[in-house]
């Protein structure tokens, strides 16, 4: 099976712009979670989607949003970018997102905000 894929792999944006990141889960996986990883804060949970519905959300401002399509692919959007949004954005998929399932990570999108 192909793994989780994320596009683009690298992005450079300037403050105030917006960005959209894409994630395609492993075939058959319907749960997609997004994380932000920074050197100081580690991996922080952004949100989780299943069957096009957001089921949980982390403590991030409303500038961070996401959605999931009927084929389980997911996108996250960050509007009005700030310097502090520079990070590695990771998505992870699992079959149903139930507690105890292993999450499989994509390669990540590295975002640099100038």
Q: Write out the residues near other proteins by the rule CB under 8 A.
A: 31, 33, 35, 41-45, 48, 50, 55-56, 58, 90, 97-100, 102-108
User: Which CB, 28 or 40, lies closer to other proteins?
Assistant: 40
**Cα gap 76→110, rounded to integer Å:** 13
Sheet of 5-7, strand order: 5-7, 19-24, 74-78, 64-68
CB of 78 to other proteins, least distance (A): 19
User: Which CB, 15 or 95, lies closer to other proteins?
Assistant: 95
User: Which CB, 16 or 43, lies closer to other proteins?
Assistant: 43
């Amino acid at each position: 099976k192909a793994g989780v894929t994320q596009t683009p792999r690298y992005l450079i944006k300037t403050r105030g712009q917006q960005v959209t990141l894409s994630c395609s889960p492993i075939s058959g996986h319907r749960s997609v979670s997004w994380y932000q990883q920074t050197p100081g804060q580690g991996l922080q949970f952004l949100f989780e989607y299943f069957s096009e519905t957001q089921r949980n959300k982390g403590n991030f401002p409303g500038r961070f949003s996401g959605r999931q399509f009927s084929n389980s692919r997911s996108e996250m959007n960050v509007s009005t970018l700030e310097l502090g949004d520079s990070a590695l954005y990771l998505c992870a998929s699992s079959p149903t997102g139930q507690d105890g399932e292993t999450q499989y990570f994509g390669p990540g999108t590295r975002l640099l905000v100038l």
